[in-house]
Structure 1
Amino acid sequence: MLLADDTVLVGTAPEVLNAGVELCHETEPFCAAYRMGQRLVASICLARHPDGRYLVLNPCGVCRERLAIHGPGLMVAVAHPDDPTTPTWKRLKDVHLDYWVTPAV
């Protein structure tokens, strides 16, 4: 994740026995940004495929909800339709047909 001050934060998701308690890869840097009082400006999630390639993982619904507090202009990476190893950057509000967060006035 990229912060407003150009700091890059990284995280990982440890493997657990019960899939119901897994964490998203974005959880760790999301919490670090909160602790630091920093705003996120971009997020990308990658997973290493068994063949060694890195695949771009689209943000899940839970992560979209978490990222929403940083505003509809937050840039998120989604997998390119023709190549899952290539990111396509979109604004958070554009990854849904109808954006669900009403910004505070």
Structure 2
Amino acid sequence: MRDEEVPNPASGYTDPIVRDLVAAAFETIRDRYVLARHQIAAAVLDADGRVHLGLHVDAMVGRAAVCAEAGALSAARLVTSASLLAVAAVRFPKPTEPPLARVVPPCGLCRELLLDHAPHISVVLPHPEDPLIPLACLLPHKYVGTKWPAPLTQP
């Protein structure tokens, strides 16, 4: 891919935390992009200031694919039980698209998953003027089952 031609979308953000998360996700996907395999990377910030990375892993059978946010959540939980504060995901362009990487919000499944494990997490949106909002605002009516006690699933 034309790595040097794709600008880092982090440069559009002024908040240093947001900029660092977006930059980490961008650098990860820029370095690991493979057409039809890896197109999105995510970065999750924990309360100890560490950033955990995840990579979208596509599959021939779509349901078997793993989202980058799920990978970053798993990576975080492998090394810490600290609260997860924020998540950013960056989509790298295909060779047939204009050379613009972009911040993308989590899909519905990832919204549910992240809120199950980090009920107070915020998400970076592709709006540099107001980039960080509680993820619960994107999923105001989250599914609440009986598998876990209610306090873990309430934002």
TM-score range, shorter chain: 0.7 to 0.9
The one of 107, 121, 125 equivalent to 1:74 is 121
Structure 1, unpaired ranges of 5+: 81-85
Report what 1:10 is aligned to: 53
Structure 2, unpaired ranges of 5+: 1-43, 145-149
Query: Counterparts in 2 of 1:82-97, with a 5 A limit?
Result: 86=128, 88-96=131-139
Deviation >2 Å, runs of 4+: 98-105
Amino acid at match of 1:78: L
Residues 33 and 39, structure 1, Cα contact 8 Å, conserved in 2: no
TM-score normalised according to structure 2 size:
0.55
How many positions carry a matched residue from both structures? 98
Larger C-alpha radius of gyration, 1 or 2?
Answer: 2
| Higher strand content, 1 or 2 | 1
Which deviates more, 59-68 or 14-23?
A: 14-23
What is the RMSD of the two structures over their aligned residues, measured on CA atoms? 2.2
The answer to whether 1:41 aligns with 2:89 is no
TM-score normalised according to structure 1 size:
0.77
The structure-2 alpha-carbon separation of the partners of 1:39 and 1:17, relative to structure 1 and needing over 3 Å to count, comes to: same
Residues 76 and 92, structure 1, Cα contact 8 Å, conserved in 2: yes
